[in-house]
Structure 1
């Protein structure tokens, strides 16, 4: 599945459903602007200083990669009432570089209907954010609240 437009409810989702986002290219000026505002470290701000770091060159903040992932995910999975996150585990195995074109591939790995609030459930999805070389730049497992379809009177 990809780029759904109708809002999805808990009833519409099943374990194993897969989604692929559109792509997004991170330009160098965007990388520098984000880093200067939110993660002002030399390996995110200066080409020369970044060469002698663990990253061996300019790299986006992991938090910028996470923000782009969220943007792409919300453009792909249109859950009724929004993606309400309650838990997230993430890794950044490869740096995101200026000019990288990112996409998100996600799979629903668990669905649990709430016992105390039967009109909703918790959906767990595993997503990989990949660059244009198919390298994983972010690996995330996230739990979100998803509501059931409202009862028709």
Structure 2
């Protein structure tokens, strides 16, 4: 269930239920769609000659998946925009056949100075493979809706 600004508190951790085993088609389609013809993502023989020993999955596919699966749990219909990333790291490669899961930690939040009906939330999105190795960490700023006034008043009266 999506969250409003008021629902997100620093320190909260969300384990996202959707996991995915990366397929060759995922990697090939993403690589083609982004026009990134780096042989490290497409050519197994090239990959074997690198420090990785094989092809590796496009890192931006990994970031997109790990960030994307958070939407239905946290921001569907309650976000006003992605303001940017402060940090993106890929400490371990993802390979075809790896199963990726995602978790989000709420790092901080503050009122928006520009938009009185919104606040800024810092999300840390972490992606792990089936060996529990961190494969991506992204710190992201999101502009989140505040609860509509009527909903906020009802919630306050019920508390």
TM over 0.5, shorter chain? yes
Give the stretch that moved more between structures: 126-135 or 110-119.
110-119
Question: Residues 50 and 13 from structure 1, CA distance in 2 versus in 1: closer, same or farther, beyond 3 angstroms?
Answer: same
Question: Residues 10 and 79 from structure 1, CA distance in 2 versus in 1: closer, same or farther, beyond 3 angstroms?
Answer: farther
Contiguous gaps of at least 5 residues in structure 1: none
Q: CA deviation at 1:53?
A: 1.6
Q: CA deviation at 1:74?
A: 1.3
In structure 2, what is the equivalent of residue 13 of structure 1?
8
Residues paired across the two proteins, number: 148
Q: For the aligned residues, what is the CA RMSD? A: 1.7
**CA distance in structure 1 between the aligned counterparts of 2:51 and 2:114, rounded to whole angstroms:** 47
Q: Higher helix proportion, which one?
A: 2
* Per-residue Cα deviation, 1:92-117 (whole angstroms, up to 9, x for no partner): 11111101111111110100011332
Q: Match for 1:103 among 94, 101, 104?
A: 101
Q: CA deviation at 1:69?
A: 1.4
Q: CA deviation at 1:30?
A: 1.8
**CA distance in structure 1 between the aligned counterparts of 2:29 and 2:47, rounded to whole angstroms:** 16
Q: CA deviation at 1:57?
A: 0.8
In structure 1, what is the equivalent of residue 62 of structure 2?
65
In structure 1, what is the equivalent of residue 77 of structure 2?
80
1:36 aligns with 2:40: no
TM-score w.r.t. structure 1 length?
A: 0.88
TM-score w.r.t. structure 2 length?
A: 0.85
Structure 1 contact 43–49 (Cα < 8 Å) conserved: yes
Give the stretch that moved more between structures: 75-84 or 35-44.
75-84
